[in-house]
């Protein structure tokens, strides 16, 4: 069925949602393809845009489509399996998945961090840390917005090194940290704040996978506290046996 039928006891938005879902499942609408606009769909089915929006919302609930603010609605692709283990490395994870990765540095600052960050890094509560904000992409899709803190006293000048290398592993190596591992990981689902929602081009009412982590060197000293906000549309977290 490709046309809706009025008067048969089934809501118009439900029929439209079913037709579009069938197009997606049959491959008529391919993964990553943008859906026609609400105006175009309204004209196709001879309904108002409110009916179309309700139909699209039903597709989102089934995880068949995703909406990006300012861009439109797209057929959902398969999410990436992102392993979290004792040695989690973003670039290596993307390489293992045969995905082209890119990290954009949004901001860096030297500041007194929040008390919980200072405690996690075993720092005096009045000591300074470097904060680095990044946006990571996989094959051009935004997969996370991250905030990383590093003890400033131990890693003087770290932001400049990170901007040059775009890698935590290689940056820490420049400071003599030849290896580090994940000491602590906490995963939860949270709604993004307005800033993160804008950066990740997603609605503010769609939860993110919120990951807090602490990395330590081979002596057990904390070297990084991280907050990573993963897009649930693009990433599935896989907790490995050694995590």
Q: pLDDT for 37-74, tens place per residue? A: 999 999 999 999 999 999 999 998 887 888 887 889 99
Same domain? For 222 and 122 the reply is yes
* Domain that residue 64 falls in: 12-75
What's the pLDDT tens digit per position in 22-44?
A: 888 888 898 889 999 999 999 99
d(CA 2, CA 23): 9
Of the candidate ranges 19-28, 120-129, 148-157, 178-187, the one whose mean pLDDT is the lowest = 19-28
Inter-residue contact 159 to 132 (CB < 8 Å): yes
**Is 160 a member of any domain?**
yes
- Report the share of the chain in percent with pLDDT over 90: 64
Burial status of residue 219 (CB atoms within 10 A of its CB: 0-12, 13-18, 19 or more): exposed
Task: Give the three-class secondary structure for 17.
Answer: helix
Give me the residue label for tokens 């037709």. 19
Asked whether the beta carbons of 226 and 215 are under 8 A apart, the reply is yes
Check residue 9 and report its DSSP letter: S
- Does the pLDDT of residue 165 top 90, yes or no? yes
Look over the chain and give the mean of its residue pLDDT values, rounded to a whole number: 90
2 in a structural domain: no
Note the pTM of the prediction, 2 decimals: 0.72
Q: Is the pLDDT of residue 19 over 90?
A: yes
H or E element in which residue 98 lies: none
- Inter-residue contact 129 to 117 (CB < 8 Å): yes
Max mean pLDDT range (9-13, 96-100, 202-206): 9-13
* CATH at residue 217: 3.40.1410.10
| Residues 64 and 86 placed together within one structural domain of the fold | no
Last residue of a domain, one of 75, 105, 123: 75
């Amino acid at each position: 069925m490709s046309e809706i039928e009025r008067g048969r006891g089934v809501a118009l938005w439900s029929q439209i949602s079913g037709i579009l879902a069938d197009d997606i499942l049959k491959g008529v609408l391919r993964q990553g393809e943008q859906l026609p606009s609400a105006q175009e769909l309204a004209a196709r089915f001879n309904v108002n845009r409110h009916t179309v929006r309700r139909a699209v919302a039903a597709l989102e609930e089934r995880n068949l489509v995703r909406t990006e603010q300012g861009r439109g609605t797209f057929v959902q692709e398969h999410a990436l399996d992102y392993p979290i283990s004792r040695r989690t490395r973003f670039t290596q994870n993307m390489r293992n998945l045969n995905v082209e990765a890119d990290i954009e540095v949004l901001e860096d600052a030297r500041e007194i961090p929040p008390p919980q960050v200072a405690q996690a890094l075993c720092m005096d509560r009045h000591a300074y840390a470097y904060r680095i904000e990044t946006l990571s992409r996989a094959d051009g899709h935004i997969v996370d917005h991250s905030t990383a803190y590093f003890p400033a006293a131990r890693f003087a000048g770290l932001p400049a090194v990170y901007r040059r290398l775009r890698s935590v592993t290689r940056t820490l190596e420049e400071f003599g940290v030849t290896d580090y591992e994940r000491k602590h990981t906490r995963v939860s689902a949270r709604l993004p704040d307005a800033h993160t929602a804008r950066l990740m081009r997603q609605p503010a009412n769609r939860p993110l996978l919120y990951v807090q982590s602490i990395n330590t060197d081979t002596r057990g000293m904390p070297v990084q506290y991280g907050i990573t906000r993963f897009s649930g549309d693009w990433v599935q977290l896989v907790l490995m046996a050694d995590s």
